[in-house]
Structure 1
Amino acid sequence: MPALHAVLFDLDGVLTPTAEVHMRAWERLFAPLCVERGVAPYTSADYFAHIDGKPRFDGVATFLASRGIELPRGTIDDAPGEGTVCALGNKKNEIVNRMFVEEGISPYPGSIAFLDAVTAAGAQVAVVSSSRNAPSVLAAAGIADRFEVVVDGTVAAAHGLDGKPSPATYEYAAELLGVPTTAAVVVEDAISGVQAGAAGDFGLVLGVDRGVGADALTEHGADLVVSDLGELDATVLDRPAREEVR
């Protein structure tokens, strides 16, 4: 067994192209709001700067702050709408779930090839996602049975775990797998995600560039960046752990 023998995958943008769906859902939420409020229009750059990889309500709050919009936080049970941060977050969730039903979803072929390779090599795997929709996305993509451990937004809230860029959810996934963090690889496509990996004592932080930029991922903590996981195989588990390189 190689020194790195667990792989902790982010979901949106790493295993499935749901990040693209989420990006369009956020645009559908914020574009009209920006017009109504008379502030700078929402762009894809806002997704990467303020939303990508964060828990949903934190993403709403961060984007609103970038436009100087103040709303009460509200509660997670607020009906979808625009009166509170949570109401907006729940409205976005309503939008994206409707898009999943209408459009369907398929995993990235290269990601499945990499998943097959590392599991065949004996590595344990888990999904660590800020999304509360992770189980339904995994089921829709036909890969739910590949992961016994899924730490998503619902699990994080139930256990009081801080969201990314905190390493807490990744650390909890490693704990559930029964492996030390130094033996685990974090796989992320978001700046907040590689920051989470870098902030923890993980063996390797692997970045997947789906649009944020390889340089940005490296700058914020990725040890290795690829444009698609199909570029790698199980030999990545043989790379020296981060503490051995320091």
Structure 2
Amino acid sequence: MDWNDYDAALFDLDGVITPTAEVHMRAWAQMFNDFLSARGVAEPYTDADYFTYVDGKPRYDGVRSFLASRDITLPEGDPSDPAGAETVAGLGNLKNDDFEQILQSEGVQPYPGSVQLVKELASRGTKMAIVSSSRNAAAVLDAAGMIDYFPVIVSGKEAGELGLPGKPAPDTFLEAARQLGVPKERAVVFEDALSGVAAGRAGDFGLVIGVDRGVGADKLTEHGADVVVDDLAELLEAGA
């Protein structure tokens, strides 16, 4: 690819810049399997459920989507619900508590290939933003030592404040491009989640790059990725 064709790079965070998708997966599994076990549901929550119903979505949307797959309906509740309350918000809050506990105890290191590409783009003067459904995006970036590269962060927190729908809607990516002052046709979206590449395609961005961290290259392509890589360092080798 020729980076002269683009002025901005819009990165998802979890699974693209940092391996925190693995931490999210563990936190979701812990929360959902405890919940299912308490209700006497024999079929456990699996990694396949994560990729199908949860990955890339705002937290409460992920709860709602998975519960619907098991024909379980809970009250919506409120974001102020205590963690573990039997509401959509209560389960989402419990998952967040589990995530923060794991992050605090284990920390996070960014993917080396992603660091290489980010530094290369910074040296070229390419504008960069983080677009993440996670409300913890700034804390994760700070823990990974990467926050200074991203003057614009559109996380689940900012999306909620602005009333923007989450992925697969393109609105958060469009907002990041707007804040960077770059037309969408001149921006590249980097995503590892099906909902994220679908958002990039729906937003009609200049290029959508899928990062295959386990969901599968075919599925990423089907949902809208123009190019699929296993690691962002491959884009350096391609002449970025």
Q: TM-score range by the shorter chain?
A: over 0.9
User: After the TM superposition, which residues 15-54 of structure 1 pair with which residues of structure 2 at under 5 Å, given as runs?
Assistant: 15-39=17-41, 40-54=43-57
- Alignment of 1:233 with 2:236, yes or no, is yes
Number of positions where the alignment pairs a residue of Structure 1 with one of Structure 2 = 237
3-state DSSP of counterpart to 1:106: coil
RMSD: 1.3
Q: How far apart, in 2, do the equivalents of 1:183 and 1:234 lie?
A: 21
Whether the 8 Å contact between 2:76 and 2:89 is mirrored in structure 1 is yes
Which residue of the other structure, out of 138, 142, 146, is the alignment partner of 2:145? 142
Whether the 8 Å contact between 1:105 and 1:141 is mirrored in structure 2 is yes
Deviation at 1:3, TM superposition (A): 2.4
Q: How far apart, in 1, do the equivalents of 2:183 and 2:239 lie?
A: 18
What is the identity percentage for the equivalent residue pairs of Structure 1 and Structure 2? Answer: 57
Whether the 8 Å contact between 1:121 and 1:234 is mirrored in structure 2 is no
Gaps in structure 2 of 5+ consecutive residues = none
User: After the TM superposition, which residues 197-212 of structure 1 pair with which residues of structure 2 at under 5 Å, given as runs?
Assistant: 197-212=200-215
User: After the TM superposition, which residues 137-176 of structure 1 pair with which residues of structure 2 at under 5 Å, given as runs?
Assistant: 137-176=140-179
User: After the TM superposition, which residues 91-170 of structure 1 pair with which residues of structure 2 at under 5 Å, given as runs?
Assistant: 91-170=94-173
- Alignment of 1:63 with 2:69, yes or no, is no
Gaps in structure 1 of 5+ consecutive residues = 238-246
Compare 111-120 and 16-25 and name the one that shifted more.
111-120
Provide, for residues 22-63 of structure 1, a one-character-per-residue CA deviation record: whole Å limited to 9, x for no partner.
000011101121222233211110000000000000000101
Whether the 8 Å contact between 2:189 and 2:208 is mirrored in structure 1 is yes
Q: TM-score, normalised by structure 1?
A: 0.94
3-state DSSP of counterpart to 2:83: coil
Which residue of the other structure, out of 2, 11, 14, is the alignment partner of 2:13? 11
Q: TM-score, normalised by structure 2?
A: 0.96
Deviation at 1:183, TM superposition (A): 0.2
Q: How far apart, in 2, do the equivalents of 1:51 and 1:19 lie?
A: 11
Compare 82-91 and 124-133 and name the one that shifted more.
82-91
User: After the TM superposition, which residues 175-190 of structure 1 pair with which residues of structure 2 at under 5 Å, given as runs?
Assistant: 175-190=178-193
Q: How far apart, in 2, do the equivalents of 1:234 and 1:10 lie?
A: 21
Q: How far apart, in 2, do the equivalents of 1:104 and 1:201 lie?
A: 35
Whether the 8 Å contact between 2:122 and 2:149 is mirrored in structure 1 is no
- In 2 relative to 1, CA 155–52 (structure 1 residues): closer, same or farther, beyond 3 Å? same
